[in-house]
Amino acid sequence: EYYANLKTSKSKSAEKGTNISKYKVNEAFNKKLSLIRADITTLEVDAIVNAANQTLLGGGGVDGAIHAAAGKQLKKECATLGGCETGDAKITEGYKLPAKHVIHTVGPIGEIPDKLQSCYRASLNLVKENNLKSVAFPCISTGIYGYPVKAATDVALQTIREWLEKDKYADKIERIILCLFLKKDVEVYEQLLQRRQGMR
């Protein structure tokens, strides 16, 4: 009930642009959070977040999928950024993606909560600085970088909630999307979200 499987198009037609209306909103998190299962490269949002590495020059996993879908121009722009520290984030254009921007963040290798929290904060701060209204996060660090999904999910939800509660820009942001790829990850998120809703 917390997510919808999306039918999204990769077309770069006139439709390109934010289209968040079809994402079901979660009652928690000030009605600004959606949990969906999708390929993040298909989402029409102001920004998708990339789980990159320090070089920002591409890689496997979601990083590879984003670079493949965005086209060569993305790597070109990334090459001008001088890499990125773990826990930090940098923004580029979205090129051939339906998303307007890509926020590249570098998650920790293994379970380092401070660094993972810093990824979500740095990404959300770029959303704010660029006056963006919608952003979609993948499950940062939980693939190739080996962060346990449950622990990472806890950090993600905690950090997003705190940001929504404390940052003034939270009123302006329309939607934060947690975009999960694997069915087993959706199950973990659902459990944790339910628990958190119960706490409210």
Binding site for ligand AR6 (CB under 6 A): 39-41, 51-53, 59-63, 65, 107, 138-145, 179, 181-182, 185
For 8-21, give one letter per residue: b (16+ CB within 10 A) or e: beeeeeeebebebe
Strands 33-37, 175-180: pairing is parallel
- Beta partners for residue 48, in sequence order: 102, 136
CA distance 61 to 64: 5
**Burial degree of 109 (CB within 10 A; 0-12, 13-18, 19+):** middle
Q: Which is nearer to ligand AR6, 7 or 168 (CB)?
A: 7
Considering the complex, what minimum distance in angstroms separates the CB of residue 3 from ligand AR6? 13
Shortest Å distance, C-beta 21 to ligand AR6: 21
114 burial (CB, 10 Å; 0-12 / 13-18 / 19+) is exposed
In the complex, the smallest distance separating the C-beta of residue 111 from ligand AR6, rounded to whole angstroms, is 12
On whether the CB atoms of residues 45 and 18 are closer than 8 A, the answer is yes
32 or 115: CB nearest ligand AR6: 115
- CB 25, min distance to ligand AR6, A: 20
- In the numeric block, the tokens 């929504």 are attached to 164
Cα Rg, the chain, nearest whole Å: 15
Shortest spacing between CB 61 and ligand AR6, in angstroms: 2
| Nearest to ligand AR6 of 11, 169 (CB atom) | 11
The smaller minimum CB distance to ligand AR6, of residues 88 and 185, is found at: 185
Tell the smallest beta-carbon distance from residue 171 to ligand AR6 (Å): 28
- Closer by beta carbon to ligand AR6, 79 or else 182: 182
Select 30 or 117, whichever has its Cβ closest to ligand AR6: 117
